[in-house]
C-alpha cells in the first residue's frame, strides 16, 4: 500500500479520541494492511504503553479536523506543522529558570493563536457569505466573538489577519491545525525535541485530565 497519509514511523501525536476523556500522546509504529480490510495505523500510547489502532480514513479525518496533532520525536527532524511540546508544559514550574519559562509562554501563545485563527476560519467557512470586504469581515468577527470566548479563545483577530488565514491556511473543510501553525512563525527544521520534553508533556497531559476533569 502507498501510504499517502500525513504520518511516519516514530512520530508522536496528541490524539483526541471519543473513548478517552482527554487527549493522549501516542507514537506511530506501523500500518496493518490486510487483504479485504481497510489499512489501519497502530500507535503506542506513551503514558501507559497501550496500543491504539485507527483505520486510515479515521486518522486522515482526525488530522484534517485538528484531532491528531503531530509533536515530533527525538530521532525525527521537526517538520512544518509540528506542534511545540513546550506549549503543553507548565509555565509555573518552580524548577525552571526565567528563560525556560519565557520559551514555554511563547510556545503556548503561538499554539493558542493558531487554534484561535482556525476557529474563526471554520466559522467563516460555515457562514459561507462573509466575503472579503473589510467591513463585512470585521462585523463577522464581532458577531462570532462571544462564541469564540465561550470556546476559550479571547484573542480577536483583525480582519486582515483572518483574511490572510482564510486564503493561506488550507481550504474549506481542509484546515487542520498545522496550516495555521506554519503561518504563525518560522520553524527551525534542524531542531530535534529532547525525549525529556516529550516525557514531561506526556505526564502533564495525563495529570491534567486525571485531576482536573
Q: Calculate what percentage of the chain has a pLDDT beyond 70.
A: 76
Nearest CA to 160 out of 138, 182, 143, 144 is that of: 138
Each residue of 165-174: pLDDT tens digit?
999 888 887 7
101-108 CB contacts, 8 Å cutoff, 24+ apart: none
Across residues 98-127, what is the average pLDDT?
89
> The pTM is what?
0.54
- Residue 106's pLDDT is 85
Spans of all domains in the chain = 12-82+192-197, 98-182
89-98, 125-134, 136-145: the lowest-pLDDT one:
89-98
Pairing of strands 40-45, 51-55: antiparallel
- Residue 141's pLDDT is 97
Helix (H) or strand (E) segment spanning residue 51: strand 51-55
| Grid cell for residue 156 | 480577536
Give the model's confidence band at 156: pLDDT under 50 very low, under 70 low, under 90 confident, else very high.
very high
Each residue of 11-55: pLDDT tens digit?
888 888 888 877 788 889 999 888 888 899 999 987 677 899 999
Checking if the pLDDT of 213 tops 50, the result is no
Give the model's confidence band at 86: pLDDT under 50 very low, under 70 low, under 90 confident, else very high.
confident
Helix ranges (H only) for 128-176 are 134-150, 159-168
Amino acid at each position: 500500500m502507498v501510504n499517502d497519509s500525513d504520518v511516519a514511523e516514530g512520530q508522536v501525536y496528541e490524539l483526541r479520541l471519543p473513548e478517552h476523556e482527554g487527549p493522549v500522546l501516542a507514537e506511530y509504529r506501523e500500518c496493518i494492511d490486510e487483504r479485504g480490510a481497510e489499512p489501519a495505523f497502530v500507535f503506542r500510547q506513551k503514558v501507559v504503553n497501550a496500543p491504539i489502532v485507527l483505520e486510515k480514513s479515521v486518522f486522515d479525518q482526525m488530522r484534517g479536523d485538528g484531532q491528531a496533532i503531530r509533536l515530533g520525536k527525538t530521532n525525527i527532524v521537526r517538520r512544518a506543522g509540528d506542534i511545540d511540546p513546550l506549549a503543553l508544559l507548565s509555565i509555573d514550574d518552580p524548577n525552571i529558570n526565567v528563560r525556560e519559562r519565557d520559551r514555554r509562554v511563547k510556545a503556548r501563545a503561538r499554539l493558542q493563536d493558531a487554534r484561535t485563527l482556525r476557529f474563526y476560519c471554520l466559522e467563516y467557512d460555515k457562514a459561507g457569505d462573509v466575503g472579503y470586504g473589510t467591513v463585512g469581515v470585521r462585523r463577522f468577527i464581532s458577531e462570532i466573538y462571544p462564541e469564540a470566548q465561550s470556546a476559550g479563545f479571547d484573542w480577536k483577530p483583525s480582519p486582515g489577519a483572518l483574511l490572510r488565514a482564510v486564503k493561506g491556511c488550507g481550504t474549506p473543510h481542509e484546515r487542520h491545525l498545522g496550516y495555521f501553525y506554519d503561518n504563525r512563525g518560522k520553524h527551525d527544521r534542524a531542531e530535534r525535541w529532547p525525549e525529556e520534553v516529550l516525557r514531561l508533556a506526556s505526564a502533564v497531559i495525563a495529570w491534567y485530565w486525571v485531576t482536573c476533569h
